[in-house]
Amino acid sequence: MDILRKVREFIHRHGLLSPGDAVVVGVSGGPDSLCLLHLLVRLREEHHLRLHVAHLHHGARGEEADADAAFVADLARRWGLPATIAKKDVPAVARAHKLAFEEAARRVRYAFLARVAGDVGASKIAVGHNADDQAETVLMHFLRGAGPAGLRGMLPATPLSDYRLLEPMADGPLPSPSPLLIRPLLDTPRAEIEAYCAAYGLEPRFDRSNLDTTYFRNRLRHELLPLLETYNPNIRRRLCHTAHVVAADYALLEQLRDQAWEEVVRAETERAVVFDRAGWQAQPLSLRRALIRKAAYRLRPTLRDVDFVHVEDARRVAEEGTTGAQATLPGGLMLTVGYDTLTIAEAGYESPPEGPTLPPDVEVAVALPGTTSLPATDWTLEAEVLETWTLEEVEVNPDRWTAYLDADRLEKPLVLRTRRSGDRFRPQGMGGHGPRLTDWMINAKIPRAWRDRLPLLVAGGEIVWVCGWRVAETALVGPTTRRVARFRLIRASGNTHHASRRQ
């Protein structure tokens, strides 16, 4: 069987090759990679390709693996192709990185191919994944509870920059710009590949470890898929069809997700992604899930899958949790609910304050009425005595950075400062009880990193407003209040980070 036409059309449809490309071909010596190399040799003149063979000895399987390496080296010599043959102790890598052998082998192999591409100036790396591999991958991801990113299976082309997990496995820096990993055989069943090898007198090597059902993929290949074929003889084709459908739908979801990302991300570093909670909640359900997944992948590129269970748990906490609530994500990540933010970061990460801060031990006199600048920030405090006001306006206050206080209860001096040893605070709703400020901050779940920098409005030595969090019982506006003082913290940009919470 000659599958050249099918593979040529697949390459053209997905734009896998361009005239003059330098291509590293990963060749294990098995049927898939041998067929792939033979086809690319036949297409070499048509596309003006420069081919380079690469083979990695995994440091396992003893003499069989030695024979595989010798076979590939001899094949490249006979076909007049340059080759790089290398050996890596994959079992040692697996132990060092606490990975299953299959996963360690995959990462080490891709890192090796990337390094070879950099050495020879190749922009493409071709590997022999076929349609049966695709069916197995989709089924494997389904069994692991993957979302649409996993159910689309392998893509015809993937930038190796998507595999930042390779860096620790490489012997040196990965090439930049990143080569493209291409899979020209992804629509070709294994049976057609084996028939092609027989038709052209190719004599592939066979890796007996592929029969070892202690490996999950082998068990799925040799036990589960044959069982499923008794229910649907076309199960492999149907799984590949599912991958095609999901991949097309996911491409649209990615566009919408990336647009939403620009709208809802307040801050992003290598350690944390911070969402605007209201903006995130305003997105459709599928995008809320997709945003959580994207944040996890951005922070942990080594993650293979962020399964549905983790995403759903995080989503429920993000939607329903109170300040300080947390949900666990893979890779040692946590989602933490703030008053108006959602932070996805490594466990133990303390996010910077969401609003204005003061340097410790700084005290700033507050003018009433008047405008006070907070040192070393772009925030100001506007204070005024309202000529007209209603109790409803005061009680239904949606802005956490605005406080209404009884002006006649504010003794002088009026200052902004940070907390001090021995501070006590009588918060609204506690009947005048005055716990230690430190204890109250802990109970209010104010992050530890914020506590020493949080501005406090102090009148006559008494804390009357923990800015952004709570006003004091002693300065509350009530039915007998005659004059109301309004304090508003305003950022130069005009963004005061509104949150639907009463002061």
Same domain, 46 and 79: yes
Report the CATH number that the domain containing residue 174 is assigned in CATH: 3.40.50.620
Read off the pTM. 0.70
How many domains does the chain fold into? 3
Count of residues making up the chain: 503
Same domain, 146 and 212: yes
496 domain residue, yes or no? no
What's residue 308's pLDDT? 84
Query: Is residue 424 one of the residues assigned to a domain?
Result: yes
Whether residue 408 sits in one domain with residue 299: no
| CA proximity to 153, closest of 177, 137, 169, 142 | 137
**pLDDT, the chain, mean:** 90
Give the residue numbers spanning the domain of 447: 363-491
Q: DSSP alpha helices (H): ranges in 98-189?
A: 101-120, 131-143, 148-151
Three-class SS state of 474: helix
Give Cβ neighbours of residue 176 (< 8 Å, ≥ 6 apart). none
Q: Does 417 lie in the same domain as 297? A: no
More confident site: 409 or 174? 409
Percent of the chain with pLDDT over 90: 66
Instruction: List phi, psi (to 5°) of 335.
Output: -100, 130
Note the pLDDT of residue 499.
38
Query: Do 405 and 331 fall within a single domain?
Result: no
Domain annotation covers residue 227: yes
CB neighbour burial string for 220-258, b if at least 16 within 10 angstroms, e if fewer: bbeebbeebeeeeeebbeebbebbeebbeebeebeeebe
Q: Which run of H or of E encompasses 93?
A: helix 90-97
CATH number at 289 reads 3.30.465.60
Q: Quick: pLDDT tens for 132-183.
A: 999 999 999 999 888 888 899 999 999 887 665 555 565 666 677 789 999 9
Does any domain span residue 352? no
Identify the domain boundary among 346, 376, 402.
346
> What number is the average pLDDT over the span 451-472?
92
Strand 414-417 relative to strand 272-276: parallel, antiparallel, unpaired?
unpaired
Q: Which of 21-30, 303-312, 320-329, 422-431 has the highest mean pLDDT?
A: 21-30
Same domain, 335 and 371: no
- Rounded CA-CA distance 85/448 in Å is 54
Burial (CB count within 10 angstroms: exposed 0-12, middle 13-18, buried 19+), residue 150: buried
Do 207 and 62 sit in the same domain of this protein?
yes
Residue 305, pLDDT > 80, answer no
Of 129-143, 317-331, 426-440, where does mean pLDDT reach its minimum? Answer: 426-440
The pLDDT tens digits for 61-81 are 888 999 999 999 999 999 999
Say if 244 falls within a structural domain: no
* Model confidence band, residue 500 (pLDDT cutoffs 50, 70, 90): very low
Domain check: are 104 and 22 in the same one?
yes
Pair (338, 376) in one structural domain: no
218-246 residue pLDDT tens = 999 999 999 999 999 999 999 999 999 99
Is the peptide bond prior to 413 cis by the omega test (within 30 degrees of 0)?
yes
pLDDT recorded at residue 502: 33
What residues have CB less than 8 Å from 10, skipping those under 6 apart? 16, 156, 184, 186, 187, 188
Cα-Cα-Cα-Cα dihedral sign, residues 137, 139, 141, 143: negative
501 occurs within a structural domain: no
- Note whether residue 286 is domain-resident: yes
**End position of a domain, from candidates 231, 248, 275:** 231
Edge-to-edge, what's the strand order for the sheet holding 484-491?
370-373, 379-386, 484-491, 402-406
* The pLDDT value given to residue 351: 72
217 within a domain of the structure (yes/no): yes
Q: How do beta strands 22-26 and 50-57 pair?
A: parallel
460 DSSP assignment:
T
CB 465, CB 405: distance < 8 Å: yes
Are residues 321 and 417 both part of a single domain? no
* 448 or 83, higher pLDDT: 83
My answer on whether 139 and 286 are in the same domain is no
Mean pLDDT over residues 31-58, rounded? 96
pLDDT (average), residues 384-407:
90
Judgement on whether residues 479 and 401 belong to the same structural domain of the protein: yes
Structure tokens at 158: 């993937």
Say what the pLDDT of residue 211 is.
82
The per-residue pLDDT for range 78-124, each reduced to its tens digit, is 999 999 999 999 999 889 888 888 888 888 999 999 999 999 999 99
Q: Which of 318, 346, 374 is the last residue of a domain?
A: 346
Residue 3's pLDDT band, with cuts at 50, 70 and 90, is very high
Rounded CA separation 395/2 (Å): 79
